[in-house]
Structure 1
Amino acid sequence: MEQSSLVGSKLPAFTFQVEKVKIREFALAVDDLNPLYLDSEAARQAGYRDVLAPPTFGICADFWGSMDFMSMCQFLQMNPVRVLHGEQEFVYHAPVCAGDELTVETVVESDTVKKSLRLVVLASTYSNQYGEMVLESRKLIIERL
């Protein structure tokens, strides 16, 4: 059953500075030692402005730039002790590199109940300092009812 009260609602937009050290920390944390993520010169030789963000780096922008977990639960009218992160997908339209400033806008795309689960999908767009949309993500948030 669709719960339309929140569908179309926008979370507060935010900006996120993509820092070389955060890209490096992320690459090391996921054990991906690709020189494009770690070495500015290697990235430039490959045609990038600076080190390249790994494929799931968008989660860092969400985690460090977006509203905190409790605020998000309050916004979505969810009980935080019953919330799970279901899945998340990223679609890149252009490279994200160190030095970029991302502006992230998020909307509640769907809000449904199936059996004893509430399923909320948040759709986000990430635009760089040049106004180019570089990344999209969809995230499923599950609340056990």
Structure 2
Amino acid sequence: MLDRTHIGRSLRRVTRTVEAGQLRFFLNVIGDKDKAFAAKEAGQAPQVPPTYLFCLEMIDGPEPLDWLTDLGVNLLHILHGQQRFDYHAPAFAGDVLSFDASIEDIQEKKGGALQFIFKKTEVRNQSDARIATLSSTVIYRDPAYAKGK
């Protein structure tokens, strides 16, 4: 069982610069190639889609899931539960974004066999403008319960 004293815990702040080349590559991969190159041709910085923020928070990090291992979670037993993006203001290539995450809640189901970890991340730009709130749920299938313990 995960220790519920972690609820409310702040995680390591991450700061990333939105690089135009990486953003164009991402837009191309998700099928928004025209949008990425239209902005370039117009001399504008491409706008960051909300899903890219989730990637940007983890990109280039030495251990992007270390917050889970710090909780005692075996990464071989996690499932992606849910993601939500509340977009407050646009972000663009060249922006420097800060990601401040915290553990919002830990809940259990099926007598502790399934544990739900709720994480919330506030994203702000270099001017301290609020860009987005990212919410995610990780489901941990505790191997101790699978073995009948």
What amino acid is the match of 2:128?
G
The residue aligned with 1:95 is 90
The root-mean-square deviation of aligned C-alpha atoms, in Å, is 2.1
5+ long unaligned stretches in structure 1: 45-49
1:14–1:65 CA contact under 8 A, matched in 2: no
What are the residue-to-residue correspondences of 1:104-115 with 2, within 5 Å? Answer: 104-115=99-110
User: 2: distance between equivalents of 1:19 and 1:139?
Assistant: 24
Count of residue correspondences: 139
Unpaired runs of 5+ in structure 2? 143-149
**Does the CA-based 8 Å contact 1:16-1:65 persist in structure 2?**
no
* Structure 2 residue matching 1:94: 3-state secondary structure: coil
2:2–2:115 contact (8 Å) kept in structure 1: no
The normalised TM-score by structure 2 is 0.83
Q: Deviations over 1:97-119 (max 9, x none)?
A: 00000011001001011112100
Give SS of 1:53's match.
coil
- Counterparts of 2:104 and 2:65, CA distance in 1: 20
1:136 corresponds to 2:133:
yes
Contact 2:104-2:120 within 8 A present in 1 as well? yes
1:62 is displaced (CA, Å) by 2.0
Paired residue secondary structure (2:16): strand
Deviation at 1:76, TM superposition (A): 2.2
Distance 1:75 1:43, change over 3 A: farther
Counterpart check, 1:82 vs 2:77: yes
> In the aligned structure 2, how far is the partner of 1:25 from the partner of 1:54?
13
Equivalent pairs: percent with the same residue?
27
Judging changes above 3 Å, is the alpha-carbon distance between structure 1 residues 87 and 58 closer, same or farther for their aligned structure 2 residues?
same
| Residue 33 (structure 1) shift | 2.5
Matched, 1:17 2:17: yes
Query: Residue 77 of structure 2 contacts residue 141 of structure 2 at CA under 8 Å; is this kept in 1?
Result: yes
CA distance 1:64–1:97, shift in 2 (3 Å): same
